[in-house]
Amino acid sequence: MAYPTALLDVIGLWTAWLMMMLSYSYPLWKENHGFRFAEFTFVSTMLAINLIVAISNVMRVAITPMTKGEWSYIIPIVLGFAMYTMLFSRYRWISRYPVAILVGIGFGLGMRGVLIPSVLTQVIATITPPKVGDPMSWLNFAYIAIGTICSVMYFLLTYEHKGVLRYPTRLGRWIIMIGLGAYFGNTILFRFSMLAGRAQFFLQVLKIIPL
Amino acid sequence: MTKQETILDKMQKIDRRILYWVLFIGLMIPFVSPLGLPVAVTPSTVDLYKELTKVKTGEVIIINLAFGVSAWSECLPATVASTKLLFKQGAKIIFLGVHYDVDLTWAKIKDQVPAFKTLTYGKNYVYLGFYTGGEATVARLATSIRTVFPTDADKKSLDEIEMMKNVNVAKDIKLVLSSDTGDWCDYYIRQWRVPYGTPVGEIGIAMLGSSYMPHYQAGILFGMTVGVRGGAELEKLIGELGEATVTMDSINISHVMAIVAIGLANLGYAATVKRGGK
């Protein structure tokens, strides 16, 4: 993308740069009015965009087809409006119906597809030895198999973790900690790449590197 | 008598702002002066690449844009690389998204994939726009795309769009590529992969690497890329180095700095504990 030349685009670019620096002024310096301004502007703008997109979506998906004779769309619209009764204590009970329907549908749909990928296939993958004979694959297989069994044993809370359970549960705790550490490491990686993106944008707007 | 502060004590008291400044400036250096550090390609990315290269001319693919502007640095490079590859294969792509800022992401993808300039809207690709409703909507998409999207993002009826004429249910779709920051890939696994057998691939942020790895290893996902690194790997595989490759140097520098900071803080802590402190 070339550096914009149209006045509005340039203003947009520099506004984004300024807002970014105001947002970063909190961790890089201290809380200040500029940071607050950027924070409030961000929240309010996002809320406004979200509202417009949501309303446009309801118009496109439900209202427009309804005006063309597909009257069944009246049901989700009424259920949607029923959610707002949550705001009035006297009629709050009405909102329980759409919530119940939502939870029911979510639970039903989730259950339909959760057993095979998240339970059955995982168990099969855990107990199936690798097809290739390289040591790394076997090490992985052993780690995953032992790790799974020991981690599950750690949550065996009806028995005290001593005697025969002492070492497997301790190993399970270590493996859970390693897993959580990896998860946290990945989280940090994500934040760093977001920051790298902003660092790149910082330089691009200043024309130090191409946009 | 006041106990003299050693360097180890000082290390524990480094102002966090100094670390942030060092990190922020350190991240910029590789953009100005690239280091060109090598990127090894992981098997999960290779599998994703291989599956995409199996796509034949005319087959229809869904790319689910489930990431916002804030995750561009993580998800966009791999999404762009996949789009380039799929267009090279002659695939027809349906783009749809779940974030309210998806229009910006769509504009960015169009900007970064040169093929859009030569391909025809409605014939080679279509943009359906924003959808909401979580797993229930994803399930509905599998049985009727037209119920969720009566029109495309420009309010044109799907029946009037050439490439959508015989496309409405999961069996009409060759594969789904979910580029996301959250649970959307799970929804496609549960509502497309399991009931209809539609292959699902994941382009995820780094955080999702450990969450989706079991699905990949169990064969539920045909492949996955993890974060900006996955994007750089895919760029390398398609032979078109881009944003992610440039960013990887910066990411590597940030990791080195993080490791150094963790090391210094722990060294200071260990020394304090040794001297009977807390």
Q: Do A189 and B134 touch (CB under 8 A)?
A: no
pLDDT per residue as tens digits for the range B34-82: 888 888 999 999 999 999 999 999 999 999 999 999 899 899 999 999 9
Please indicate, yes or no, whether residues A119 and A141 belong to a single structural domain of this protein.
no
Verify that A37 and A75 share a domain, yes or no. no
A51: nearest CA partner in chain B? B100
Whether residues A15 and A50 fall in one domain: yes
Please give the pLDDT value at position B277: 63
| Interface touch B190/A105, C-beta < 8 Å | no
Phi and psi for B159 in degrees, rounded to 5?
A: -65, -20
> A117 and A133 share a domain?
no
Minimal CA separation from A166 to chain B, in Å:
27
More confident of the two residues B116 and B182: B116
Asked if A39 and A96 sit in the same domain, the reply is no
Minimal CA separation from A205 to chain B, in Å: 13
Shared domain for A51 and A92, answered yes or no, is no
CB within 8 Å: B73 and A53: no
Q: Do A119 and A146 belong to one domain?
A: no
CA distance B1 to chain A (A): 34
Cα separation, B164 vs B157, in Å, equals: 10
Same domain, yes or no: A153 and A203 = yes
**B134-143 helix and A92-114 helix, angle to the nearest 10 degrees:** 60
**Alpha carbon B114 to chain centroid distance?**
20
Q: What average pLDDT score do residues A109-114 get?
A: 87
In this prediction, residues A94-123 reach a mean pLDDT of 91
> Which tokens hold the place of A48?
């406004």
Last residue of a domain, one of A22, A37, A69: A69
Question: For residue A42, what are the domain limits?
Answer: 1-69
Q: Tell me what pLDDT residue B15 has.
A: 87
Phi-psi group of B56: left, alpha or beta (phi > 0 → left; psi -120 to 50 → alpha; rest → beta): beta
Domain count, chain A: 3
The predicted structure's pLDDT at residue A130: 84
Q: What is the pTM of this model?
A: 0.88
Burial of A66 (0-12, 13-18, 19+ CB in 10 A): middle
* Chain A closest-CA separation from residue B3 CA (Å): 30
- Do A133 and A116 lie in a common domain? no
Backbone angles phi, psi at B125, to 5 degrees: -155, 160
Q: Which of A69, A86, A101 is the last residue before a domain boundary?
A: A69
Which residue on chain A is closest to B228 by alpha carbon?
A193
Instruction: Decide if B218 touches A, using CB distance below 8 A.
Output: yes
ipTM: 0.84
A87 with A45, same domain? no
Give B154-190 pLDDT, tens digit per residue: 989 999 999 999 999 999 999 999 999 989 999 999 9
Query: Are residues A57 and A119 located together in one domain of the fold?
Result: no
Beta strands B221-226 and B60-66, pairing class: unpaired
Chain B residue numbers with beta carbons less than 8 Å from the beta carbon of A193 are 73-74, 206, 227-228, 247, 251
Per the listing, tokens 């009826």 go with B157
Residue B129 Ramachandran class (φ > 0 left, ψ -120 to 50 alpha, else beta): left
More confident residue, B13 or A151: A151
Cβ of B143 under 8 Å from any chain A Cβ?
Answer: no
Name the residue with higher pLDDT: B223 or B278.
B223
pLDDT for A98-109, tens place per residue? 999 999 998 998
Q: Among residues A53, A69, A85, which one ends one of the domains? A: A69
**pLDDT per residue over B194-249, tens digit each?**
999 999 999 999 989 888 999 998 999 999 999 999 999 999 999 999 889 989 99
A20 to chain B: closest CA residue:
B70
Do A134 and A210 fall into the same domain?
yes
Neighbour count for residue B216 (Cβ, 10 Å): 21
Residues of B in contact with A69 (CB under 8 A): none
Closest of B222, B194, B228 to residue B44, by C-alpha: B222
Average pLDDT value for residue range B100-117? 94
CA distances from B53 to B46, B50, B82, B84, B91 (A): 10, 5, 10, 11, 10
CA angle A185-B105-B251, nearest 5°? Answer: 30
